[in-house]
Amino acid sequence: MSSISQNAPGKVALLMGNEAIARGALEAGVKVCAAYPGNPSSEIIGTLAGVADEMGLHVEWSVNEKVALEVAAAASLAGLRGLCAMKQNGLNVASDFLLNLNLTGTRGGLVVVVADDPAGVSSSNEEDSRIFAKLGDLPLLEPATIQEAKEMTREAFSLSEKLGLPVMIRSVTRVSHARGNVSLDELPQSGPKPGFDLSQPRCAFPALPNHRLLHERFQRAKEMSEESPFNFYRGPERPDLVVITSGSGYLYSLEAAINLKIEERVGILKLGMTWPLPEAFVLGYLREAGNFLFIEEVDPFLENNVKELFAQNCFDIGVKRFHGKADGMVPDVGELNPEIVTAAMENLLNVRHLPRPENYSRIAREAAAGLVPARALGFCAGCPHRATYWAIKLALALDGRNGFVLGDIGCYSLGMGPSGFAQMKTLHAMGSGVGLACGFGQLERFGLEQPVVAVCGDSTFYHAAIPALINARYNGANFLLLLLDNNATAMTGFQPHPGTGLTATGDKTPVIDLRAICEVFGASVEVVDPFDVESTVEMILRMIRTEKGVHPVRNPNCCNLELSETSNQKMEKGEIISNGVKVLILRRECALVSAKRQKKLFRIEVDQERCLGEACGCNRLCTRIFKCPGLMWDQATGRARIDEAICTGCGVCTEICPASAIRKEAA
Amino acid sequence: MFLPKDPFNVIIGGVGGQGNVLASQILGETLVAQGYVITIGETYGASQRGGSVMSHLRISAKNPFSPLIPEGQGDLLVALEPVEGLRILAPYGNPNIMTLLNTRPIHPIEVISGDADYPEVSKVIATIKDLSSRIWTLNATEIALEMGDSIFSNIVMLGALSSIQVLPIDRQTFQSVIKELLPSRTIEENMSAFDRGRAEVEEVTKNKPVSSRGGGEN
Ligand code: SF4
Ligand code: SF4
């Protein structure tokens, strides 16, 4: 398929930053690669998994980032080269191990790639992972271009071996998810044989001598940082302004200086090895210039480190001006872009650049403001999560006790927004919904009367929720856990996980069954298909009732918020599930995964005669409330209709229309 | 054909699920095969459909540029959806920008739910025309649906792009690129999608206003 595994030195390929990192690892002779998927890092391991067989690698999707790092570290301790990739949140999970591994040291090159997501475009948080390099005295590299992403990764392995330390590479979305020309180098043909050296046990304890050893290694890293070819200066000898930058900031700074026609006045000090800081190298420029601007993504990492260096040396080098996040010259949250960098340079050098006539700007912006509707992210057409949240909404309304949903990370996080009917009420870390439910599930004794419901995706469950479920059972927390089993790690690109029966490289492996895991802990478990909306509502209602509170099922005065006669009777008679943790598995494959494999389930049509139009009982329930993007509201006829370019034919909306106007037919 | 400008800045924009990212990758590979230096920046979050997505392509004879085009500096806009085209012109347009537009709307959930209105497509096209130096249109989604699946609409658009002669995209290089990137059983269908886009794109001029086919539906 791709050029990734071609041994074609000199060939130029268009690679994504993450593919370039993968290629760099291959050129370094990596043998073991592991990760848990997380944007924007996922394609690193995805790419390596695709060539694992032909290149003779072990590549795995590990159950979480800590285990992934342990797997890659084992390769290193056996003398092989290992790579572990993750997003910023993943490093939080892996950090416990990382901050002990730095004390024992490593053997074969070990590279930890962390791809940060500035602005948290596909993350719960915005976080600067570089702080961990400082925390653990670890060498840190930051690629600025796609070519550099490859070179740095290759170099990181030898750096790691020279120092006996894991080396961190910090990428960002605009490097990991950008594409660019990359010139390839040679792939090695052979590698060492692994073995664990019995004379060298790896024990972090006792901390003191190991901490001292770490500092000695860090001293050597400092020397290497001074020599690093990834640190360089571009610009005039006597600049009016020196931009100190790393990562994505480098190309923005270069281009801004060109556009502003100030290349003769601005120098760019581009740092690639940013920890340990190349102090002597940076000090040289601190001495020469008077005015500095820091351009970097997320936290003022370079800014603070360089200021520290300045403070140490200010007697010798005199007064300097520093601009960046501290003085507000650059925003202290969010992603960088060309406009931010241009504006900072304009302000500091008192120049102006007008990319287009002002008149045009005004007309274009006004036209867009007047005509262009907002377009929020939402669940895909035919997504099982929309059906799930619809059922939750109905069940909690029918129950009538203000039950609430605790959630976490996955596509289903959109349950906080309109396409999940704003049902999810908390969102923090992986597995945190279940952990919080362990706590909320204890509050009944203090008078909490609301039913507690947690949602958790299948992949997230294996990653972080199993200990919380054990805790719930052990300590007798009372809640309902809804496991949203769509058979994929959907949000990051449909990677397999332990429940899918497939490994990263596509090999068959035993399925680790969700239901069996929950039952082993003694939780009562039911399984339902969320596309069967009525059964799902009934099941949720049954499972949130407790011994203490048997609540009559109300029929709130709203169309379709009503169970059929029979299920209502069943509910009244139905046995009450005892207190404690209960698990309902909502099993239905991700719409995008099934679309890859099979054609539409149903052909859907809105009967234009039957559709009640604006007079619809619940104010156009299908479009105004249910909001599947496969539906449209036809202004001209005042009727709902299906958009055949979008509808996946799941058939869920046919259950929702009170007039039975939406019909399905086997496709 | 050489570049009218260096870097030449192309924006491909649309709605998640329309194959925006794949289109930018195919276009990028086609140009790299001809010796250009390409940088592509993608603006997409999670895998869900429904949000606005945008790819920035910087095409240069010699240097990599940043993966984001500075505001006001788009040279060519390929809009896979009408209001998305206008949304992009607001920050990135300028009097010289050229626009290639798929006229078929995709309604955002805000419109489906009745919280916002989708403007008349003819009005959107007229506004984009005013903001562009040249504009070409076709209903790529309709063509793709006629071929059996809306999934082909991005390839129809690339065919159209090759026919308007702004960028050096020849049929043969395109074919060799998709042979590398797409499953072999789909190559024939994708080539006919490409050819239909080539054949059916039309420039909107004063004397030749939007045709009924090009006008799309609302
Ligand atoms: S059948 Fe209905 S709910 Fe399912 S994708 Fe189509 S429009 Fe959406
Ligand atoms: S399709 Fe059904 S739910 Fe939608 S507006 Fe018509 S009657 Fe109401």
What is A384-595's CATH superfamily? Thiamin diphosphate (ThDP)-binding fold, Pyr/PP domains (3.40.50.970)
Element counts in chain A: helices (H) and strands (E): 22, 24
- Domain A232-349 of CATH type 3.50.50.60: no
Structure tokens at A502: 């497939």
Q: Which residues of B touch A343 (CB under 8 A)?
A: none
The structure tokens 């006629």 sit at B146
CB A642 within 8 A of CB A622: no
- Residue nearest to ligand 2 atom 6, measured at CA: A611
Query: A648 C-alpha vs ligand 1 centroid, how far in Å?
Result: 6
Answer whether A530 contacts ligand 1 (Cβ < 6 A). Answer: no
For chain A, give every domain's residue range: 12-188+199-226, 232-349, 384-595, 602-666
Min Cα separation A356/chain B (Å) = 6
CATH topology of domain A12-188+199-226: Rossmann fold (3.40.50)
Query: Averaged over B72-101, what is the pLDDT?
Result: 98
Q: Which residues contact A329 (CB under 8 A, 6 or more apart)?
A: A293, A323, A344, A347, A348
Q: Hey, how many other C-beta atoms are within 10 angstroms of the C-beta on B168?
A: 15
Total count of domains within chain B: 1
Min Cα separation B164/chain A (Å) = 24
Structure tokens at A591: 């719409």
Summarised one tens digit per residue, pLDDT across range B143-153 is: 999 999 999 99
- Using DSSP's 3-state secondary structure scheme, residue A184 falls into coil
Please judge whether A174 and B41 are an interchain contact, meaning their C-beta atoms are less than 8 angstroms apart. Answer: yes
If you measure CA to CA, which chain B residue comes closest to A366? Answer: B90
Same fold, A12-188+199-226 and A602-666: no
Q: What is the reported pLDDT for A554?
A: 47
Q: Say whether the peptide bond before residue B67 is cis (omega within 30 degrees of 0).
A: no
- Segment among A15-19, A346-350, B127-131, B180-184 with least mean pLDDT: B180-184
* Cβ-based contacts under 8 A for chains A and B: 223
Q: What is the reported pLDDT for B213?
A: 46
Q: What is the reported pLDDT for A552?
A: 47
Q: What is the reported pLDDT for A564?
A: 55
Q: Could you tell me the CA-to-CA distances from A64 to A33, A46, A455 in Å, in that order?
A: 13, 15, 19
Q: Which ligand is nearest to the CA of A617?
A: 2
Domain made up of A602-666: CATH architecture: 2-Layer Sandwich (3.30)
What stretches in chain A show pLDDT beneath 70? 1-2, 546-578, 617-618
Q: Which residues contact A224 (CB under 8 A, 6 or more apart)?
A: A139, A159, A162, A163, A273
CB A168 within 8 A of CB A94: no
If you measure CA to CA, which chain A residue comes closest to B182? Answer: A1
pTM strictly above 0.90: yes
Q: What is the reported pLDDT for A545?
A: 82
Asked if residue B110 is part of any domain, the answer here is yes
Asked if residue B3 is part of any domain, the answer here is no
Q: Hey, how many other C-beta atoms are within 10 angstroms of the C-beta on B212?
A: 7
* Alpha carbons A634 and A612: distance in angstroms, whole number: 13
Query: B217 C-alpha vs ligand 1 centroid, how far in Å?
Result: 20
Task: Assign residue B94 the CATH number of its domain.
Answer: 3.40.920.10
- Using DSSP's 3-state secondary structure scheme, residue A387 falls into helix
The boundaries of the domain holding residue B55 are 8-207
